[in-house]
């Protein structure tokens, strides 16, 4: 800050004055201003935690409420996932979709890589000190300063230094994938104060979430990281400061983590009740059926379920009947994830919103829910269902209307008034009322039925597209959707590929429609740039699969990250929800309010859970294995 003021004075001085007296006076004023700024910086208090809005819930020394500080240590947990892996770096474009699970993620734990602060998933968005033992930032959020814990060490025993922090932020800024490189690229100055403090300065405080995102940056060991080849997919394991190191890496098949006996943070309050196993095994399976069978045989100790059919009817096997396998429905306190079949609006046939709206109508949720899913699902409508952030069922507030006023065509009238709902077909799979409404939209878009084919009146081409699926469950759902769509003379194919091909095609935008889940939180923020902004639409490796380029979206994300109160924030998210719904970027599917997890009794979960459901890094061994 001081140097920026002095630089500004020098520039002004060169332009406005050649007078020695004015030169001296100007610098005197500059030093006075600089001293005032430094003094005001020093009045910002140090604290153990920060929050996006409001005050963190936990006092210093309090453990997270969803972990058991008295959990026994030892043993092994075996987990399973469908898919493959061919990279050990999820922060670059090449490895973003096919990296080994468990290095750094909520469900499986931050086993290898840690950050300056750690998030409590019992709160909307609060962070507590980890590598940084203290933190401070002004109300303006133009900067944030961290004081490192002098005990923080990487797994090779070397200390975590401020140089490692600066290196980690710079390497992802220069070679990472969006949205990470965008976040860390917003740092305009780094001030390192020996021996263990680093202050990060931003251009301004408009993005009020940015300091928290910086605090969650993965920290790499500078001396153990190949900076030159960081952006190239590699199976070289990273050296982190986390509680585990790699024991086994079998590309595409298995990764095993083993406890680091010298883990530096094991006695910190934020780690109480975490990292209880001596060994974590994560095995990869080509398809969901094979994974399910491995769970039934006890090769996988715990598994999350998403298919209601498997959840309702898949536990008629000896271990479940004998009580050795337990089903848990964990209530979630966060918005329901938006599961949908996404349109690639880069494709010519989906560039007309009327076509997308018509196709959105043709998903017969009632038929699918009854015939495939035992009536266990609820219909999804928007992107923050089951929360105060949802626009569904709520007319827009005065503040929302003010935010949306510059974009009069961005929100449909029924969405603005809160009366819009997804088409409610009668469950027959051929509801004539819904079919007529969808055909009317398609007629308005320039299509007509001719010889039982829906063709463009301008080109004579039949409306046709392909749905990309990665497993049998998605294929089954796609076929159920297609049987209704084809009634209007539309040709639809489903293409099933293995998970690695699926991710490659999705990353390269090589699809017409694709299954996707937009996970939601109580504190959406800068990650929405990567999912929806115009800038991310053509950015390699971004999450903007649909190719959205809508000025209203860009403006509302700015409002979300810049909100200074919870009230402003809620209005901005609801307005954003209305724009996404009105844009018809996906066929909304369904959700369940609970987190479905089954486990063998040899492993145990804590009594309390986070707002997000299960977290395997808080579980423990019930008996010595």
* Closest listed residue to residue 282, CA positions, set 505, 447, 60, 77: 77
% helix, strand, coil for the chain, step of 5: 30, 20, 45
* Closest listed residue to residue 99, CA positions, set 85, 82, 112: 85
- How does residue 96 score in pLDDT terms, banded at 50, 70 and 90? low
Number of other CB atoms surrounding residue 22 within 10 Å:
12
Could you state, in order of their start, the residue ranges of all structural domains in the chain? 2-42, 51-56+68-332+594-625, 338-591
- The number of helices, as runs of H, and strands, as runs of E, in the chain is 19, 25
**DSSP state, 142?**
S
Is 569 in contact with 560 (CB distance < 8 Å)? yes
| Token pair in block for residue 257 | 């983590």
* Strand 132-136 to 143-148 pairing: antiparallel
Is 247 in contact with 279 (CB distance < 8 Å)? yes
The mean per-residue pLDDT over the stretch 603-625 comes to 90
Q: How far apart are CA 506 and CA 502, in angstroms?
A: 6
Listed in sequence order, the residues at least 6 apart from 318 whose beta carbon sits closer than 8 Å to its beta carbon are none
Q: How far apart are CA 176 and CA 174, in angstroms?
A: 6
Is 149 in contact with 198 (CB distance < 8 Å)? no
| Token pair in block for residue 419 | 């009366």
Q: What is the pLDDT of residues 589-598, one digit of tens each?
A: 999 889 999 9
Around 237, how many Cα atoms within 13 Å sit in the side-chain half-sphere?
Answer: 25
pLDDT of residue 42: 85
Is 382 in contact with 591 (CB distance < 8 Å)? no
∠ CA 179-182-188, rounded to 5°: 155
Q: What is the CATH number of domain 51-56+68-332+594-625?
A: 3.40.190.10
Element (H, E) at 36: helix 20-42
* Strands ordered across the beta sheet of 132-136: 132-136, 143-148, 197-202, 187-193
Beta bridge partners, 338, equal: 518
Q: What's the Cα-to-Cα distance from 426 to each of 357, 423, 429, 589, rounded to whole Å? A: 19, 10, 8, 16
Is 86 in contact with 235 (CB distance < 8 Å)? yes
| Token pair in block for residue 266 | 């094991």
pLDDT of residue 5: 45
Q: What's the Cα-to-Cα distance from 589 to each of 50, 227, 338, 382, 471, rounded to whole Å? A: 36, 43, 8, 10, 17
| 98 vs 432: which has the higher pLDDT | 432
**What percent of the chain shows pLDDT beyond 90?**
85
Is 240 in contact with 114 (CB distance < 8 Å)? yes
pLDDT of residue 22: 41
Q: What is the pLDDT of residues 142-185, one digit of tens each?
A: 999 999 999 999 999 999 999 999 999 999 999 998 888 889 99
The mean per-residue pLDDT over the stretch 320-344 comes to 96
Coil, helix or strand for 97?
A: coil
Q: How far apart are CA 469 and CA 492, in angstroms?
A: 13
Q: How far apart are CA 342 and CA 512, in angstroms?
A: 8
Q: Maximum Cα–Cα distance for the chain, whole Å?
A: 93
The mean per-residue pLDDT over the stretch 202-230 comes to 96
The mean per-residue pLDDT over the stretch 557-585 comes to 96
Q: Rg of the chain over CA atoms, in angstroms? A: 26
Is 348 in contact with 560 (CB distance < 8 Å)? no
| Token pair in block for residue 408 | 């009069």
**What percent of the chain shows pLDDT beyond 70?**
93
| 40 vs 294: which has the higher pLDDT | 294
pLDDT of residue 178: 84
pLDDT of residue 97: 72
Q: What is the pLDDT of residues 471-529, one digit of tens each?
A: 888 999 999 999 999 999 999 999 999 887 898 899 899 999 999 999 999 999 999 99
Question: Tokens 């670059």 sit at which residue?
Answer: 92
pLDDT of residue 38: 52
Question: Tokens 């819904």 sit at which residue?
Answer: 434
Element (H, E) at 386: none
Q: How far apart are CA 141 and CA 459, in angstroms?
A: 55
Question: Tokens 């969803």 sit at which residue?
Answer: 66
Q: How far apart are CA 155 and CA 221, in angstroms?
A: 9
Is 422 in contact with 431 (CB distance < 8 Å)? no
- How does residue 95 score in pLDDT terms, banded at 50, 70 and 90? confident
- How does residue 23 score in pLDDT terms, banded at 50, 70 and 90? very low
pLDDT of residue 507: 86
Q: How far apart are CA 174 and CA 560, in angstroms?
A: 26
CATH T-level topology, domain 338-591: Dipeptide-binding Protein; domain 3 (3.10.105)
Q: How far apart are CA 449 and CA 569, in angstroms?
A: 46
pLDDT of residue 2: 40
Q: How far apart are CA 579 and CA 585, in angstroms?
A: 10
């Amino acid at each position: 800050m001081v140097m920026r003021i002095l630089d500004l004075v020098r520039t002004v001085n060169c332009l406005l004055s050649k007078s020695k007296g004015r030169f001296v006076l100007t610098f005197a004023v500059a030093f006075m201003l600089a001293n005032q700024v430094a003094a005001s910086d020093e009045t910002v208090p140090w604290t153990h935690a920060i929050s996006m809005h409001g005050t963190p819930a936990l006092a210093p020394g309090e453990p997270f409420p969803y972990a058991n500080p008295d959990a026994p240590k030892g043993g092994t947990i075996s987990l399973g996932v469908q898919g493959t892996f061919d990279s050990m770096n999820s922060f670059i474009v090449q490895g973003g979709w096919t990296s080994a699970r468990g290095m750094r993620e909520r469900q499986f734990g931050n086993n290898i890589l840690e950050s300056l602060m750690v998030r409590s998933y019992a709160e909307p968005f609060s962070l507590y000190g980890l590598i940084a033992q203290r933190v401070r930032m002004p109300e303006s959020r133009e900067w944030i300063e961290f004081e490192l814990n002098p005990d923080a060490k990487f797994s090779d025993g070397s200390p975590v230094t401020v140089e490692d922090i600066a290196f980690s932020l710079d390497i992802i800024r220069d070679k990472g994938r969006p949205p990470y490189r965008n976040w860390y690229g917003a740092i305009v100055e780094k001030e390192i104060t020996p021996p263990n403090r680093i202050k990060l300065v931003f251009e301004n405080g408009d993005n009020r979430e940015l300091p928290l995102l910086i605090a969650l940056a993965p920290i790499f060991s500078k001396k153990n990281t190949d900076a030159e080849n960081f952006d190239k997919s590699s199976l070289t394991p990273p050296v982190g400061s986390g509680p585990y190191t790699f024991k086994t890496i079998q590309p595409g098949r298995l990764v095993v983590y083993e406890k680091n006996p010298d883990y530096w943070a094991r006695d910190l309050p934020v780690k109480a009740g975490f990292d209880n196993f001596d060994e974590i095994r994560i095995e990869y399976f080509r398809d969901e059926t094979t994974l399910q069978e491995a769970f039934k045989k006890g090769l996988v100790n715990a598994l999350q379920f998403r298919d209601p059919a498997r959840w309702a009817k898949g536990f008629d096997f000896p271990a479940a009947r004998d009580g050795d396998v337990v089903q848990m429905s964990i209530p979630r306190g966060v918005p329901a994830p938006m599961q949908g079949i996404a349109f690639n609006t880069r494709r010519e046939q989906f560039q007309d919103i009327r076509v997308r709206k018509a196709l959105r109508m043709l998903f017969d949720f009632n038929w699918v829910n009854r015939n495939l899913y035992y009536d266990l699902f609820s219909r999804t409508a928007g992107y923050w269902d089951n929360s105060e952030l949802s626009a569904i069922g709520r007319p827009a507030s005065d503040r929302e209307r003010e935010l949306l006023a510059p974009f009069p065509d961005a929100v449909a009238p029924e969405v603005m008034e809160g009366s819009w709902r997804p088409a409610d077909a009668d469950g027959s799979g051929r509801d004539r009322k819904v079919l007529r409404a969808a055909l009317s939209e398609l007629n308005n878009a320039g299509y007509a039925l001719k010889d039982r084919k829906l063709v463009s009146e301008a080109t004579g081409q039949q409306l046709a597209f392909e749905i990309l699926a990665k497993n049998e469950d998605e294929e089954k759902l796609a076929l159920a959707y297609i049987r209704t769509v084809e009634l209007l003379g539309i040709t639809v194919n489903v293409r099933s590929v293995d998970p690695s091909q699926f991710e490659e095609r999705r990353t390269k935008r090589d699809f017409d429609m694709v299954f996707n889940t937009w996970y939601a939180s109580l504190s959406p923020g800068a990650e929405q740039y990567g999912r929806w902004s115009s800038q991310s639409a053509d950015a390699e490796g971004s999450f903007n699969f649909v190719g959205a380029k809508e000025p209203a979206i860009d403006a509302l994300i700015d409002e979300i990250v810049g909100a200074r109160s919870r009230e402003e924030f809620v209005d901005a998210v609801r307005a954003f929800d209305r724009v996404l719904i009105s844009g018809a970027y996906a066929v909304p599917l369904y959700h369940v309010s609970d987190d479905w997890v089954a486990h063998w009794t040899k492993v145990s979960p804590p009594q309390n859970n986070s707002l997000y459901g299960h977290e395997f890094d808080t579980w423990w061994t019930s008996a010595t294995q």
